[in-house]
Amino acid sequence: MKSVPGIFVKKADGTRQLFHRRKVINTCLRMHASKEIAEKIADKIENRLYDDIPTKQILQMIFSYLKKYRPVVKHQIDLRRAISLLRPKPDFERFIQMLLEAHGYTVSCNQIVRGRCVEHEVDAVATKGNKTYLVEIKHHFNHHIYTGLDVPRIARANLEDLTEGFNLGLHPIDFSEVLVVCNTKFSEHASRYAKCRGIRRIGWKTPPKQGLERMIEEKRLHPVTILKGLNKSNREKLLDSGLILLKQLISRDVYELSKKTKIPMKQLTEPVKKAKEILLLSKKEYGII
């Protein structure tokens, strides 16, 4: 990964690291810019670098430059922040369920399963191929903090108790592994422990080539919280009505949506229009989900 000699960036947690041009390009590509445009934007940003530039400022520059080439960007906020605006329950849990289902898992949520020692409130049970995963879902409102060691460690302990419960005939689910899903990066300790214990992880840029952000972009499962200008009250009304995805939002009749959410039609027209532009769908593709 190419870095600019001597130029460090300052991350949100205060740590410093060398500026990597490739990270800028990858961010642009994730937002559906062409490789040529991504390279141009990386050039512009390199020309404005200074030592200890905040990563937040770099992201703002990316959005600013990208608007010229993809005007639709002005309708959305950063995906990472958008996910953090979801409420842990039920929004984020339901979001992860839909994401896993889109990637070929069969998922059931919110079960009470009896282990050998105690009952466990299981966030989700996911099955794919011949494996059944105990899914631990962790949401952080602060998307810059790390998911720490306690999350995979507790999930591992739960798996042991539930496996013993299955062997004793206390429940019918033969769990194969643990799958921890979160909206942030994992700490080094959490990653080392998970690797040692065979715990699968999905988080921001984890795994490196198929992290949470790539899974979302691949299936175009953007949350409604990505819409710029959507106030908190209307956002929560949409979420309370079970509308978590932009795809769900554009599939509804605006009049019926207004009746269901109690949001005035004039306040819904613009968000629906923005959602359609973000998803780059033609009118023929506005299918029901």
- Structural domains of the chain sorted by starting position, each given as residue range(s) with its CATH number in brackets: 3-75 (no CATH), 83-218 (3.40.1350.10), 223-285 (1.10.150.20)
Higher per-residue confidence, 181 vs 68: 181
| Mean pLDDT value of segment 90-99 | 97
β 131-138/119-128 pair status: antiparallel
DSSP codes of every residue in 164-187: HHHHTTS-S----EEEEEESSPBP
Whether the pLDDT of residue 18 is over 60: the answer is: yes
Q: pLDDT tens, 252-265?
A: 999 999 999 999 99
Sheet holding 53-54, edge to edge: 16-20, 3-10, 53-54
Whether the pLDDT of residue 74 is over 90: the answer is: no
Question: Tell me, what's the pLDDT at 33?
Answer: 83
Categorize the per-residue pLDDT at 32 as very low, low, confident or very high, splitting at 50, 70 and 90: confident
Q: pLDDT tens, 192-245?
A: 999 999 999 999 999 988 999 999 999 999 999 999 999 999 999 999 999 999
Whether the pLDDT of residue 281 is over 50: the answer is: no
pTM of the model: 0.82
